């Protein structure tokens, strides 16, 4: 209960928060106590880096998988060696047989004639060829008969110096190639020039089964050696075995170059991803962090709109977010100002009748004049009535705000609504009451909205027109559809509205009524609430004066404009 002279501000602020700030303001205040966590690295930064690193890893894994498939390169090399070995073996059987070339009795390979065949067919290929007889004993080896194998040269650094670049390159190449799949191969234990054929599985297969054989080995330097052995046949007789093998390093160099190119591609891609990540973080996470800091400043009580950075010139989502936050902050400040102004207005409106009541009671206590006491009791009664009306309207405004935020819009027939309200107000049995004249179409005025609040707007406007119309006057209500909107006019025959007050009348607690209407019956919230309802429905309400032919004011006119519902 309010007492004269008491502090009404906390109570008024609660009412204002309910009417204009929604009851959730108190709950929201608790939720807004959250502060952004301080991290040594932004979570968004970590995600961007993680996704980019994952992309590089996926790329590397894919390249590695491709390398596992490229092991088939060795299989293709074996097939190629077998084909070449078959050609060389056929040539040896034809032109390197011991005895007459056309003699079917030739059963051995002539080591002298074999040199000519090997020089012609194996020399240009860069491969090593070895010939074994039927017992597996070595006959010839191109390592000792070809000029390219006689002398091997390599540029060495000066004494006491090391070619660091060459060492790094060789180490990198061997290290990368050691990662390649398919490395589990048997080593070459001994590679003596006169090594017997029984040391080679592929040679044994060619001698015993008369079928080609192949093998893969690793030499002491870790280089891959691929070799094939095919029987040297003359007719169906096996004269010996030709073993054809790659020289150390030729396959490794090819695969090593591929791995170097792979790593170079990965490093290049990683660099591009890193630079792109830095640019992305600078272009996105930096502004987002500034927006977060600005929002924190607003939350902590800063009343400056510039606390939220303006990135409106950016034609992207960050710019949209910046403008949305600034618009939200501006709306928040406007709502706070509205609440403060509402509290001040209510305090002012309540203070006047409370002061009057307090003064009347104090005077009543001191006077014995019965006539004055009756007048003072009338003042108290009128002020209490005014307070009751004011609090009732404030309560209605609070419920209205909640209703507007929760209710679901529906199709409303304005013609039917206007007719129903006209019948309610137009009572011909009451002597001197203004008469209502309608000019409303039967249909075609359908809007989407809330029927109760819209009916309240029309009721407020009609009541206002009736309070200012002279006895026996006329109130004209007309409506029609114009440019996709339903337009309603309510006209009276009263004294009109001062030109300077055509907007003021929509302010809260503003009222100016004739004495005959009675004291304390209006709080000045009716038109203010009406404008609030119409604006929620995306419409407009305004006031103007009706003028006669001589320019004099002959009444007031209120116009309500609402968008028509789209045709279904």
Please state the pTM of the whole predicted model: 0.45
Q: Other C-beta atoms within 10 Å of 258: how many? A: 18
d(CA 564, CA 567): 9
- Of the residues 225, 248, 271, the one at which a domain ends: 248
Q: Which domain holds residue 482?
A: 407-563
Same domain, 339 and 377: yes
**Tokens found for residue 39:** 């991290």
Q: Single out the residue of 68, 69, 118 nearest to residue 91, CA to CA.
A: 118
77 vs 316, residue with greater confidence: 77
Residue 293 located in a structural domain: no
Cβ-count burial 83-117 (b if 16+ within 10 Å, e if not):
ebbbebbebbbeebbbeeeeeeebbbbbeebbbeb
Domain shared by 389 and 358, yes or no:
yes
Token pair for residue 175? 């290290």
**230, 197 Cβ separation under 8 angstroms:** no
94 lies in the same domain as 241: yes
Rounded Cα gap, residues 107 and 96, in angstroms: 11
Q: What is the pLDDT of residues 37-75, one digit of tens each?
A: 555 566 656 766 777 777 777 777 766 665 555 556 677
**Same domain (yes/no): 387, 518:** no
Of 13-27, 79-93, 124-138, 442-456, give the lowest mean pLDDT range.
Answer: 13-27
Percent of the chain past pLDDT 70, that is, above it, reads: 69
Does some domain include residue 264? Answer: no
Instruction: Determine what percent of the chain is predicted with pLDDT higher than 90.
Output: 8
Q: What is the CATH number of the domain that holds 136?
A: 3.30.450.20
Judging by beta carbons within 10 Å of its beta carbon (0-12, 13-18, 19+), is residue 174 exposed, middle or buried? middle
Q: How many CB atoms lie within 10 A of CB 482?
A: 10
Split at pLDDT 50, 70, 90, the class of 377 is confident
Residue 254 placed within a domain: no
The answer as to whether 307 is a domain residue is: no
What is the pLDDT averaged over residues 352-363?
Answer: 82
pLDDT confidence of residue 186: 65
Q: Classify 538 in phi/psi space as left (phi over 0), alpha (psi -120 to 50) or beta.
A: left
CA 324, CA 61: separation in Å to the nearest integer? 43
Which CATH number fits the domain that encloses residue 382? Answer: 1.10.287
The pLDDT score that the predictor gives to residue 228 is 93
Do 453 and 510 share a domain, yes or no? yes
What's the number of domains the chain is made of? 3
CATH code, domain with 451? 3.30.565.10
- Are 384 and 424 found together in one domain? no
Q: Does residue 486 register a pLDDT over 50?
A: yes
Q: Please indicate, yes or no, whether residues 418 and 536 belong to a single structural domain of this protein.
A: yes
Q: Tell whether 146 and 220 lie within a shared domain.
A: yes
Domain-located, residue 300: no
Rounded mean pLDDT, 193-209: 84
Q: Are residues 113 and 234 in the same domain?
A: yes
């Amino acid at each position: 209960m309010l007492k004269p002279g008491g502090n009404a501000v906390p109570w008024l602020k609660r009412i204002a928060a309910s009417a204009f700030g929604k009851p959730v303001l108190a709950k929201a205040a608790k939720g807004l106590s959250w502060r952004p966590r301080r991290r040594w690295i932004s979570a968004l930064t970590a995600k961007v880096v993680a996704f980019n690193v994952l992309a590089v890893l996926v790329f590397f894994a894919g390249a590695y998988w491709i390398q596992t498939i490229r092991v088939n390169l060795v299989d293709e090399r074996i097939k190629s060696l077998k084909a070449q070995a078959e050609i060389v073996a056929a040539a040896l059987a034809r032109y390197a047989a011991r005895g007459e070339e056309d003699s079917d009795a030739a059963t051995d390979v002539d080591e002298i004639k074999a040199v000519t065949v090997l020089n012609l067919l194996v020399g240009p290929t860069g491969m090593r060829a070895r010939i074994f007889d039927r017992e597996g004993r070595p006959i010839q080896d191109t390592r000792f008969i070809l000029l390219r194998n006689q002398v091997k040269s390599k540029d060495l650094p000066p004494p006491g110096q090391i070619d660091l670049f060459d060492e790094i390159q060789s180490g990198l190449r061997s290290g990368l190639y050691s990662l390649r799949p398919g490395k589990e191969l048997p080593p070459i234990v001994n590679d003596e020039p006169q090594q017997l054929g029984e040391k080679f599985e592929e040679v044994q297969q060619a001698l015993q089964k008369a079928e080609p054989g192949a093998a893969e080995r690793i030499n002491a330097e870790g280089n891959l050696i691929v070799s094939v052995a095919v029987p040297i046949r003359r007719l169906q007789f096996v004269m010996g075995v030709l073993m054809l093998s790659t020289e150390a390093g030729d396959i490794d160099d090819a695969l090593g170059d591929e791995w170097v190119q792979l790593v170079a591609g990965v490093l290049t891609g990683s660099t591009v991803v890193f630079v792109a990540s830095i640019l992305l973080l600078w272009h996105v996470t930096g502004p987002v962090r500034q927006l977060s800091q600005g929002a924190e400043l607003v939350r902590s009580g800063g009343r400056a709109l510039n606390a939220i950075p303006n990135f409106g010139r950016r034609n992207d989502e960050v710019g949209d977010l910046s403008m949305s936050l600034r618009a939200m902050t501006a709306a928040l400040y406007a709502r706070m100002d509205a609440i403060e102004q509402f509290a001040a207005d209510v305090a002012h409106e309540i203070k006047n009748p409370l002061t009057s009541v307090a003064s009347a009671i104090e005077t009543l206590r001191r006077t014995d004049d019965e006539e004055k006491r009756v007048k003072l009791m009338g003042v108290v009664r009128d002020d209490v009535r005014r307070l009751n009306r004011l609090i009732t309207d404030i309560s209605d405004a609070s419920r209205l705000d909640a209703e507007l935020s929760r209710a679901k819009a529906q199709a409303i027939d304005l013609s039917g609504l206007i007719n129903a309200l006209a019948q309610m107000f137009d009572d011909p049995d009451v002597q001197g009451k203004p008469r209502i004249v309608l000019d409303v179409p039967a249909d075609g005025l359908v809007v989407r909205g809330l029927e109760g609040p819209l009916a309240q707007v029309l009721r407020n406007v009609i009541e206002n027109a009736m309070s200012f119309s002279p006895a026996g006057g006329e109130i004209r209500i007309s409506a029609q559809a114009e440019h996709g909107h339903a337009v309603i006019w309510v006209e009276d025959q009263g004294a009109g509205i001062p030109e300077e007050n055509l907007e003021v009348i929509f302010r809260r607690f503003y009222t100016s009524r004739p004495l005959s209407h009675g004291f304390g019956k209006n709080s000045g919230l009716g038109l203010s609430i009406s404008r609030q309802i119409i604006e929620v429905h995306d419409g407009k309400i305004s006031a103007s004066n009706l003028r006669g032919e001589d320019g004099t004011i002959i009444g007031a006119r209120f116009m309500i404009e609402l968008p028509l519902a789209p045709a279904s």
